[in-house]
Amino acid sequence: MLTEAIYDKIGKTYDETRTADPEIVLKIIEHLSPNKDGYYLDIGCGSGNYTHAIFEKDFHVCGVDISKEMLVKAGQKNNQIE
């Protein structure tokens, strides 16, 4: 699939210029009002920047993405997140 190939290519260096914005993390939590006992799915998690940042706020989260390379990067950030 073309989209998968594109993100596998850019996934190799994606995190060199991107991180989770703390203000956006707070807005995500504010707008979603997640429950600490809930389990949440980050669809299109990419390299897991926001998945990891939300996990660090003590929420249970799982990330999925079409790109295997992006998922490898996400797994390197935090092996406690599926």
Provide mean pLDDT across the span 11-38. 90
Distance CA 2, CA 5 (A): 5
Task: Return the CATH fold of 2-77.
Answer: Rossmann fold (3.40.50)
Q: How many residues does this entry show for the chain?
A: 82
Say yes or no to pLDDT of 10 above 90: no
CB 32 within 8 A of CB 65: no
Distance CA 50, CA 59 (A): 12
Structure-token pair, residue 14: 């994606």
Say yes or no to pLDDT of 20 above 80: yes
User: pLDDT tens for residues 31-58?
Assistant: 999 999 999 999 999 999 999 999 999 9
CB 53 within 8 A of CB 25: yes
- The residues spanned by each domain of the chain are 2-77
Say yes or no to pLDDT of 7 above 90: no
Distance CA 67, CA 64 (A): 9
Look at residue 12 in the predicted model and tell me its pLDDT.
79
Residue, of 5 and 60, whose pLDDT is higher: 60
